[in-house]
Amino acid sequence: MDVAEAVATRRSIRAFTEQPVETETLLSVLEAARMAPSGCNYQPWEATVLTGAPLKALQDVLLASKPDDPLEYDFSAPGQVDKYKQRLSTLGAQMYGAMTIGREDVDQRNLFSQQNLTSFGAPVLLLSHFPKLMKEPQWSDVGMWLQTIMLLLRGEGLDSCPQEWMGVYGRTIKAHLGLSDDTLLFCGLAIGYRDPDAPVNNFERERVPLDDQVRLLGF
């Protein structure tokens, strides 16, 4: 698989099979991802990767817990602006529509949302964290590292789902893992093999036209 195909076929998978992820493959991906770029070569990313009994133990804790109050960071602020709110609404309509869950079916929507806590059945969960002293440029570096991992996973035939949802339970996760409160729990990354027949993995994804986001000058 070349890079362009990896980019085109990567999507946020929300239904995984039970097929295990080989440790050697995962370590190979993480080893290669060390070459992701970072300003000043700070390499701010850190992670804890769980599978098996440790993953189940964390999920049991999360299912019995409530979200942080207040949250350590807000990932929903753009939703206050109309054009970004519309993109979120479009995604929701496409995703829930694929699963034939209506807007009025609050119980089914809540049940699906709760699957975030078990990473949609993925056999591996990478939890991305880093020292709180890191600022916006380093957050961007961590995003590039995560994207590098996701594309390398596609190259191995694996799939993923980045989960900012895990940040909503940041303090609970840090306490469970024994991480210092000087650490920010950024997000999760569910890793495994997609269920190719699940409607939630097959709806058409919408992106805004390139002209809405990029200006070309001097071309």
Read off the pLDDT of residues 123-154 as tens digits, 9 standing for 90 and up: 999 999 999 999 999 999 999 999 999 999 99
pTM value?
A: 0.95
Contacts of 5 (CB under 8 A, 6+ apart): 154
**pLDDT value of residue 103:** 86
Look up the CATH architecture of domain 3-73+120-199. Answer: 3-Layer(aba) Sandwich (3.40)
DSSP 60-123: HHHHT----SS-SS-S-GGGGSHHHHHHHHHHHHHHHHHTT--TT-HHHHHHHHHGGGGGGG-S
Q: Nearest CA to 177 among 97, 84, 59? A: 59
**pLDDT value of residue 1:** 86
Tokens of 55: 């993953």
Domain ranges for the chain, please list them.
Answer: 3-73+120-199
List the end-to-end C-alpha distance of the chain, in Å, as a whole number.
Answer: 31
CB atoms within 10 A of CB 207: 8
Instruction: Report the pLDDT averaged over residues 1-26.
Output: 97
